[in-house]
C-alpha cells in the first residue's frame, strides 16, 4: 500500500506545479510571492520559492499526536491556498499522521519506520500535543511506546523538529495547574533545536510558510528565544489590531453587548490579552473568510493562547499587562451622560473668579517689574531710577 501511494505521488509530482495546486500560472506566481512576503524575505526571493516548489524534492514529514484535541490538524484541514490534499501531495510528503491515515495499527507503524529509514537525516518531525512526563510518561502511549520514547526515537534522525500548537510548544492547556500528567513541550524532552508554532490552534499558514522556508533554503526560519518564527511572532497582537485606535482614544467596551461592544470599541477592559501576546492573528486572519475573521474581530477578547504564562494561565477577564502604554484609569465611561450647559449664576461666579485671577496676575507682574527696577544699577550720568536708551529693562 505504501509503495502504491509513493507511485501515485510521483506521478502527481510530474505534472506542472500550477496544475497540481489548481491555480493559473499567474495565481501560482502570486502564491509564491505571498509566501516570500509572509516570511519577510528580500525582493526576488519569490523566484527561489517558485523553484523549490516546482523542482525540489518534497520533504518527508512524520507527524506525531499526543495530549491534544487535534485542533491544529483540524485548522490545517481548512486551509485554502493550498488545500490539504495539494499540500501533502505537492509541498510535503506526509508519511505518518495518525488522524489522516486510512491504515492503522501495525501498518501505520511500519510506514513510519520505513519513512524514517529511507529519509534518515532529511525528514521533518512535527509534534502536535503536549508530552506527559510524570510517572515515566505512562499517561500517553502509541504503539506500546510512551510519548517520550516515541518523540526521542523520531527526533534522533530528523533534519528539523517543529512543535505545532501551544500544547506541543510549551504544554498549553494540558499543562495548566495542577498539571496531573506533568505535560510539557517538546523542547523539554529532546536536546536539539525546536521551532515552535504556538496557538490554539495556530494559523495553518504559519506552518506552511515554515515548511516552504525549509524546502527553499534547507533551513528553518529565524526564531525568537522561545523558538517562534520571527515572521509570525515578532509583533504584538495589539500593534495590528483593528480596534487599536479605540484603545488609544480611550474608548472601551465595559460589558459584552453594551454600546461600546456594539460599536467595536477596544476589548482591553474585558480581558483582551492582545497587549501582551505575540502573534500575527490580526494580519493573517483565519479560515479565508474575509476581514474580521479572528477572535477580536468577531467581538471576543484575545485569550493569549500563543503566549506561555498568559493563555490557559491568566483568568480570561484579567487585565493584560500592556507592554507599551497603559491607559489611565480615569477615562470616562463609554456612554457618559451629557451636561445641560452652564447656568447664568454659575457663569457669573466663573467670570468673577476669572477676573480676580486676571487682576491678581496683573498685580504680580507689576510688582515684579518694580523689583527689577529697584535692583538695577543706575546708568552713567543718570539718577537712580533713570535708564539710558540702550540699557536693558
User: What DSSP designation does 223 have?
Assistant: B
Q: Residue 386's pLDDT is what? A: 42
Please report which helix (H) or strand (E) contains residue 55, including its range.
Answer: helix 45-55
Residue 336 contacts residue 258 (beta carbons within 8 Å) = no
Distance CA 68, CA 131 (A): 9
Q: What is the DSSP string of 228-272?
A: -BHHHHSSBHHHH-TTHHHHHHT-B--STTSHHHHTT-B-GGGT-
Element (H, E) at 125: strand 124-128
Q: What are phi and psi of 60, to 5 degrees?
A: -70, 135
Angle 92-9-120 from CA coordinates, rounded to 5°: 55
Tell me if residue 65 falls in helix, strand or coil.
strand
> What is the distance between the alpha carbons of residues 72 and 208, in angstroms, rounded to a whole number?
12
| DSSP 8-state assignment for residue 96 | E
Q: What is the DSSP letter of 43?
A: T
Q: Would you say 308 and 226 are in contact if contact means Cβ atoms under 8 Å apart?
A: yes
Q: What is the pLDDT of residue 345?
A: 56
Residues counted in the chain: 393
Report d(CA 54, CA 375) in Å as an integer. 89
Q: Tens digits of per-residue pLDDT, 155-187?
A: 999 999 999 999 999 999 999 999 999 999 999
Q: Do 163 and 71 touch, CB atoms closer than 8 A?
A: no
Mean pLDDT by 10 residues, the chain (393 residues): 52 57 67 63 61 64 92 84 66 83 83 92 93 94 93 94 95 94 94 94 88 82 92 93 92 94 95 95 83 89 94 91 70 59 54 57 54 48 42 39
CB crowding 53-64: b at 16 or more within 10 Å, else e: beeeebbbbbbb
**Omega of the bond leading into 318 within 30 degrees of 0 (cis):** no
> pTM for this one?
0.69
Closest by CA to 133, choosing from 186, 181, 179, is 181
Tell me if residue 124 falls in helix, strand or coil: strand
- Confidence (pLDDT) at 354: 57
Nearest CA to 31 out of 69, 82, 75, 70 is that of: 82
Note the Cα 64 to chain centre separation in Å: 24
The number of beta carbons lying within 10 Å of the beta carbon of residue 278 is: 23
| DSSP assigned state of 312 | T
Contact 69, 195 (CB under 8 A): no
State the pLDDT at residue 372.
Answer: 47
**Per residue, what are the HEC states of 174-193?**
HHCCCCCCCEECHHHCCCCC
Tell me what pLDDT residue 100 has.
83
Q: Do the beta carbons of residue 131 and residue 145 sit within 8 Å?
A: no
Predicted confidence at residue 160, as pLDDT, reads 92
List the domains of the chain with CATH numbers: 2-233 (3.40.50.700), 235-329 (4.10.480.10)
Amino acid at each position: 500500500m505504501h509503495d502504491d501511494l509513493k507511485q501515485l505521488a510521483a506521478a502527481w509530482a510530474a505534472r506542472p506545479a500550477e496544475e497540481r495546486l489548481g491555480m493559473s500560472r499567474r495565481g501560482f506566481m502570486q502564491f509564491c510571492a505571498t509566501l516570500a512576503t509572509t516570511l519577510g524575505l528580500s525582493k526576488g526571493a519569490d523566484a527561489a520559492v517558485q523553484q523549490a516548489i516546482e523542482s525540489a524534492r518534497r520533504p518527508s514529514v512524520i507527524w506525531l499526536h499526543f495530549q491534544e484535541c487535534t485542533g491544529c490538524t483540524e485548522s490545517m484541514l481548512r486551509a485554502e491556498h493550498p488545500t490539504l490534499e495539494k499540500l501533502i501531495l505537492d509541498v510535503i510528503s506526509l508519511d505518518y499522521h495518525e488522524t489522516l491515515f486510512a491504515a492503522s495499527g501495525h501498518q501505520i507503524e511500519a510506514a513510519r519506520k520505513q519513512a524514517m529509514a529511507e529519509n534518515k537525516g532529511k525528514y521533518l518531525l512535527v509534534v502536535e500535543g503536549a508530552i506527559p512526563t510524570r510517572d515515566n510518561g505512562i499517561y500517553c502511549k502509541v504503539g506500546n511506546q510512551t510519548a517520550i520514547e516515541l518523540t526521542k526515537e523520531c527526533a534522533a534522525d530528523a533534519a528539523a523538529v517543529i512543535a505545532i500548537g501551544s500544547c506541543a510548544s510549551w504544554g498549553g492547556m494540558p499543562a495548566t495547574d495542577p498539571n496531573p500528567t506533568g505535560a510539557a513541550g517538546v523542547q523539554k524532552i529532546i536536546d536539539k533545536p525546536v521551532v515552535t508554532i504556538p496557538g490554539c490552534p495556530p494559523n495553518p499558514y504559519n506552518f506552511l510558510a515554515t515548511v516552504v522556508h525549509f524546502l527553499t533554503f534547507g533551513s528553518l526560519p529565524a526564531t525568537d528565544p522561545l523558538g517562534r518564527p520571527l515572521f509570525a511572532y515578532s509583533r504584538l497582537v495589539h500593534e495590528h489590531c483593528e480596534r487599536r485606535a479605540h484603545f488609544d482614544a480611550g474608548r472601551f467596551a465595559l460589558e459584552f453587548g453594551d454600546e461600546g461592544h456594539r460599536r467595536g470599541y477596544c476589548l482591553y477592559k474585558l480581558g483582551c490579552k492582545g497587549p501582551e501576546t505575540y502573534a500575527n492573528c490580526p494580519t493573517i486572519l483565519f479560515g479565508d473568510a474575509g476581514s474580521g475573521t479572528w477572535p477580536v474581530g468577531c467581538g471576543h477578547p484575545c485569550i493569549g493562547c500563543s503566549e506561555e504564562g498568559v493563555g490557559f494561565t491568566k483568568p480570561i477577564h484579567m487585565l493584560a499587562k500592556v507592554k507599551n502604554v497603559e491607559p489611565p484609569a480615569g477615562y470616562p465611561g463609554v456612554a457618559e451622560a451629557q451636561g445641560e450647559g452652564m447656568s447664568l449664576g454659575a457663569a457669573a461666579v466663573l467670570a468673577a473668579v476669572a477676573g480676580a485671577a486676571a487682576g491678581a496676575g496683573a498685580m504680580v507682574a507689576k510688582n515684579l517689574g518694580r523689583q527689577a527696577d529697584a535692583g538695577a544699577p543706575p546708568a552713567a550720568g543718570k539718577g537712580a531710577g533713570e535708564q539710558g536708551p540702550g540699557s536693558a529693562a
